[in-house]
Amino acid sequence: MYGMPGKANPASDAADTFASPEPPRPVAASRPAAANAGARCANCMMRHICMAASLEADDVEQLDRVMQGWRTVRQGEKLFRAGDPFRSLYAVRAGSFKTVVTSERGKEHISGFYMAGDAIGMDGICEETHTSDAIALEDSVVCVIPYHLLEALCRELKPLQRQFHKMLSAEIVREANQMMLLGNMSAEQRVATFLLSISARHRERGYSATSFVLRMTREDIGSYLGVTLETVSRTLSKFQQEGLLAVQGKSLDLLNLDALDAR
């Protein structure tokens, strides 16, 4: 099923793609944390790659307690925008996002794509203000983690502290690798690297590493890779002609991962 295009309803698509055990449960910001019984990391498929990774069951429960709840974000809507005051981090529970940074000149650049289990918003910590927009690529659900509570819990739970630091550091490493891509690689290498990265992230999450649907447009991919949308399109066509993959709109089948890696 996964990897087939043409779903009528992106919300149900997101739900079956990521198999959320419960339906999204949006919560008012003012709702007390104690009432938040539905959102439980223990039940979440993504707990082993998310904030809860390597926590004992007791500690996961503590994390649940500081989690404010879920928030649904419809396709195209913004989870936050640059300039918003920073209060919470977000963990993607279902769906996916892109983050967009805008220069003073008004030029936009996509700085990252985030899927289930990824954390968004860590750019906001340093100035207590978000520096990018986070936009849902499909109807999505995030866990809302108030930063001051997470901070306090990190002082209590060493494994949580360690995991949080690792997530911050992993983002630094990811961006450093992206800088390498943007600074040194040919268009073909950029596209190949991008596809392999998506593939690997799907594999980590238990989905097919070779057959998937791109949630973003060619323009989004181009922006992320520092090339034009035409170049993305041409490169995909070329890879298809060479038998490295099969494209059909946003659906992709990678037919030769090694050959892609050799680009």
Partner DNA sequence: CGTGAACTTGATGTAGATCAAACCCCGTGG
Partner DNA sequence: CCACGGGGTTTGATCTACATCAAGTTCACG
Residues that bind a copy of itself (CB under 8 A): 101, 103, 107, 109, 111, 122-127, 131-132, 151, 154-156, 158, 161-162, 165-173, 175-180, 182-184, 223-226
DSSP 160-201: HHHHHHHHHHHHHHHHHHHHHHHHH--HHHHHHHHHHHHHHH
Among the residue ranges 4-12, 23-31, 150-158, 195-203, the one whose residues contact DNA (CB under 7 A): 4-12
- How far apart, in whole angstroms, are the C-alpha atoms of residue 247 and residue 160? 41
For 163, left (φ over 0), alpha (ψ -120 to 50), or beta? Answer: alpha
Which of 54, 169, 208, 237: binder of DNA (CB under 7 A)? 237
Pick the closer one to a copy of itself by CB: 19 or 176.
Answer: 176
In 3D space, the residue among 120, 118, 141 whose CA is nearest the CA of residue 13 turns out to be 141
The least CB distance from residue 162 to a copy of itself, in Å, is: 7
The least CB distance from residue 99 to a copy of itself, in Å, is: 8
Q: What is the largest CA-CA distance in the chain?
A: 57
The least CB distance from residue 46 to DNA, in Å, is: 24
The least CB distance from residue 222 to a copy of itself, in Å, is: 9
Nearest 5°: the CA angle 229, 18, 121 is 65
Which of 1, 8, 173, 262: binder of DNA (CB under 7 A)? 8
In the complex, which residues of this chain contact DNA (CB under 7 A)? 5-8, 10, 186-188, 217-219, 226-234, 236-237, 247-250
